[in-house]
Homo-oligomer: A and B are copies of this chain.
Amino acid sequence: MDKCKRVSSKDVAKEAGVSQATVSYVLNNVEGVKIKPETREAVLEAAKKLNYHPNLIAKSMRLRKAMSIGVVSDKSMSSYMTMNVLEGVRDALLSRNYTMTLCSNKSEDIESAEYIRYYSSNRIDGIIFVFTKLSEEQINYLIENNIPYVVIHTNFGNEISHMVNTNMEEAVHEAIKQLVESYGTDFAYFGVHAGRLENMRYNTYLKTLDKLGLEFKEDKVLKFETNEEGAIETLEEYYRKNTTLPRSILCDSAYLALNVLKFAAQKGIRVPEQTAVIGIGTTNFTAFSYPSLSAIEAPLARMGYIGCDMLFDVLENKPGQDVIVLKWEYIQRGSS
């Protein structure tokens, strides 16, 4: 095991009294190469006896594959979600004997981005973007340079290839239906004026209202600009006007939902007895809030697993699917 005296396939060959090629054939189970059972046995035994571990760097070099996948994710993103996706990616990599190389997404110009440098210098075969905000420039660079990538849940819609997307429509439908059935139509949407993701969520809300035959009420849409204080200010304003919160609230992020819980606690509003709250999104703290937060959540690990499978389709030039859409789930906890 000591670095200085590592055993190579040559040593195994010598021990087994065969050629290096045979060792390779046996250990890799190369198809179309027939090996006499006793020879195979001898090789296997020698390998075991010498405690042989193939040098994967050498293999990589010969195969001209890095045998590693770069994973990049914005630091800003909730690490809990990222970690869950990475679990899925790792599971998919394991069986293929690939490793996972962590990359950051910070860089001035694209050519010097960590993941591009790693790819250029053959350290990774492809890239999985997890919850990463990508610019047109970045995507174009990847496509133009023919760099294998998969994008898991980004700011882009379905306009680009190789992405794992999710659909929360059904889950939102289910959640709203339950809210309205349980608590009536004094039901609000609480969200932020922001990127496509948020607009998508908002549109899903609108569409669901429509489907359920519910009336759209402008004063039940609490929207604010993206800044730290906006959320609380907006709640505060609603509260001043109505001296209460809506009977039930769908928040476009778990962050906001937790803010609502916080605000409610501050004002002495009981949840869910006076106001029911549902968040959209997953955090590891849904269980710690009081009450625990009901939420519409994405299937994180599966997204990672599927995304990784997709990347291998790209690497192996298999046809594969361009865009895969997975469903979110409505998970009812204490706040609704």
Interface residues of A (CB under 8 A from B): 1-3, 6, 53-58, 60-61, 64, 66, 68, 71, 75, 78-80, 82-83, 86-87, 90, 94, 99-102, 104, 114, 117-118, 120-123, 145-147, 255, 258-259, 261-262, 265-266, 283-285, 288-290
A99→B120 contact, CB < 8 A: no
Please give the distance in Å from A25's CB to the nearest CB on chain B: 19
* A90 pairs with B61, CB closer than 8 A: no
Closest to A288 in B: B258
Expressed in whole angstroms, the minimum distance between the Cβ of A254 and any Cβ of chain B is: 9
Q: How far is the CB of A63 from chain B (nearest CB, A)?
A: 10
- Among candidates B56, B71, B121, B290, residue contacting A265 with C-beta atoms closer than 8 Å: B290
| Chain B residues near A56 (CB-CB < 8 A) | 121-123
Number of copies of this chain that the complex holds: 2
Please report the C-alpha to C-alpha distance between residue A147 and residue B290 in the assembled complex, in whole angstroms.
Answer: 46
Interchain CA distance A329-B142 in the complex, whole Å: 43
Complex alpha-carbon distance, A180 and B122, angstroms = 59
| Interface pair A259/B288, CB less than 8 Å apart | yes
Q: Select A283's contact among B66, B87, B285, beta carbons within 8 Å.
A: B285
Contact B285 A262 (CB under 8 A): no
- Residues in B whose Cβ lies below 8 Å from that of A261: 290
Q: List 19 extra interface pairs beyond A53-B121, A57-B60, A99-B123, CB under 8 A.
A: A2-B145, A56-B122, A56-B123, A57-B61, A58-B61, A61-B61, A68-B101, A75-B87, A78-B284, A82-B83, A83-B83, A99-B102, A100-B102, A101-B101, A102-B102, A262-B290, A265-B265, A283-B285, A285-B285
Question: For A258, what are the chain B residues with a Cβ–Cβ distance below 8 Å?
Answer: 285, 288
CB proximity of A305 to chain B, nearest CB, Å = 14
